[in-house]
């Protein structure tokens, strides 16, 4: 019984962390259609912003929930303003530029901070379930994921600015003709997506640690999740994160972690074979 409970919690945690890793990309790639190869490095920068500012004596929660998103949001603003905007949606140019940016950020982190792993111990300690113990921080990760996704959903669905954003993404020309400043909206959304990535990087840092090259472990999963989600970025990404997180964690439990990684990729391939336009290409079309 306790074992089942612990396994269930691990499964939920895998879904939550995958959703967190992907939600920033759901905004940047899913909504703005910007292929951001530096997504993993945005998470890395978020992780460093958290670890360094917490190490400098700042309150842990301020560092995680305020400093990290703000720092990566600012980075996102610079990137959008000076690079992405000038590429005018050219896919190939965007791939090359963001890949360059990814290398640049890795190199910068390595030059300034060195190639060794840094981290903060997960707060809260552990809780016992019979003979098993599980970190209380695991629950915190789930809560952050749920709060992030639900508040994004509520904002997009029911607020006036959310409506404006949805309109501008759906038909930029019409929105512009009706007086919306689509350029500023795009910048704002890019900053939002970056800030969410920063938050995710900070929240996962106590569990995964940070080092300059950590982005590579996140970026592929995030892209696969968002793409498999399909046309409606937020719902699709959440569903895909749940499916993939569950499969990979379950497969990892049944055999080894590497089998979990492979299972995730195989499920993604089969899924795209069956539903070539992603999960929300066929189902949940009215969602967000």
Partner 1 sequence: MNWVRERAGLLAAVAVGGTLIVVVPVVAEIFALFELTLFLVLAILALSLAWVWGFGGILCFGQSVFFGLGGYTYAIAVINMGDSTVPLMLGILLPALLAGILGYFLFWQRISDVYLAVITLAVSLIFYYLTGASAGSEYRIGNALLGGYNGIPSVPPINVPGLPEHQVVYGDLYVLTAVMLAVIYGGLRGLLATDFGRVVVAVRENEERAQLLGYDVRTTKLTVFVIGGAIAGLSGVLFAAWGSYVSPNVFSMTFTAQIIVWVLVGGLGTLSGAVVGCVLVQAAMTWLGEAKLADTNLVLGAAFVVLVLFARRGLVPGTRSLLADLRGRVRSAP
Catalog residues that contact partner 1 under the rule CB under 8 A.
35, 37, 83, 86-87, 90, 92-93, 95-97, 99-108, 110-111, 216, 219-220, 223-224, 227, 256, 258, 261-262, 265-266, 268-269, 272-273, 276
DSSP annotation of 65 reads: I
What tokens were used for 50? 């958290």
Nearer to partner 1, 103 or 163 (CB): 103
Q: How far apart are CA 84 and CA 88, in angstroms?
A: 7
Nearer to partner 1, 141 or 222 (CB): 222
Shortest distance in whole angstroms from residue 272 CB to partner 1: 5
Shortest distance in whole angstroms from residue 208 CB to partner 1: 17
Is-contact 210 47, C-beta < 8 A? yes
Nearer to partner 1, 182 or 228 (CB): 228
Is-contact 241 15, C-beta < 8 A? yes
Q: How far apart are CA 269 and CA 140, in angstroms?
A: 31
Shortest distance in whole angstroms from residue 262 CB to partner 1: 5
DSSP annotation of 117 reads: -
Nearer to partner 1, 108 or 143 (CB): 108
Shortest distance in whole angstroms from residue 213 CB to partner 1: 9
Shortest distance in whole angstroms from residue 84 CB to partner 1: 11
Nearer to partner 1, 148 or 228 (CB): 228
Nearer to partner 1, 123 or 257 (CB): 257
Is-contact 73 191, C-beta < 8 A? yes
DSSP annotation of 169 reads: H
- Chain CA centroid to CA 191, Å: 13
107 Cβ neighbours under 8 A, 6+ residues apart: 212
DSSP annotation of 254 reads: H
Shortest distance in whole angstroms from residue 65 CB to partner 1: 29
Shortest distance in whole angstroms from residue 53 CB to partner 1: 23
Residue 255 phi, psi (nearest 5): -135, -95
Extended strands (E) in the chain: 126-129, 132-135
Nearer to partner 1, 180 or 262 (CB): 262
């Amino acid at each position: 019984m306790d074992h089942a409970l612990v396994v269930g919690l691990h499964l939920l945690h895998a879904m939550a962390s995958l959703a967190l890793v992907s939600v920033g990309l759901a905004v940047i790639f899913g909504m703005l259609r910007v292929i951001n190869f530096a997504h993993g490095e945005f998470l890395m920068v978020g992780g460093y912003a958290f670890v360094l500012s917490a190490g400098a004596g700042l309150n842990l929660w301020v560092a995680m929930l305020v400093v990290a998103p703000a720092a990566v949001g600012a980075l996102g603003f610079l990137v959008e303003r000076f690079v992405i905007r000038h590429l005018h949606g050219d896919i190939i140019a965007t791939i090359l530029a963001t890949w360059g940016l990814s290398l640049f950020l890795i190199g910068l982190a390595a030059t300034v901070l060195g190639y060794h792993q840094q981290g903060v111990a997960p707060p809260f300690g552990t809780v016992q379930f019979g003979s098993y113990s599980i970190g209380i921080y695991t629950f915190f990760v789930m809560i952050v994921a749920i709060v992030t996704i639900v508040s994004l959903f509520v904002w997009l669905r029911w607020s006036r600015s959310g409506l404006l954003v949805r309109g501008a993404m759906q038909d930029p020309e019409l929105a512009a003709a009706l007086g919306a400043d689509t350029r500023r909206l795009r910048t704002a959304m890019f900053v939002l997506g970056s800030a969410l990535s920063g938050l995710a990087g900070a929240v996962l840092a106590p569990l995964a640690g940070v080092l300059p090259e950590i982005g590579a472990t996140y970026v592929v999963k995030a892209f696969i999740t968002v793409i498999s989600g399909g046309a409606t970025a937020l719902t699709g990404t959440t569903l895909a994160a749940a499916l993939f997180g569950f499969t990979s964690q379950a497969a990892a439990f049944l055999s080894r972690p590497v089998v979990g990684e492979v299972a995730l990729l195989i499920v993604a391939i089969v899924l795209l074979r069956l539903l070539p336009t992603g999960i929300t290409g066929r189902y949940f079309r009215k969602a967000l």
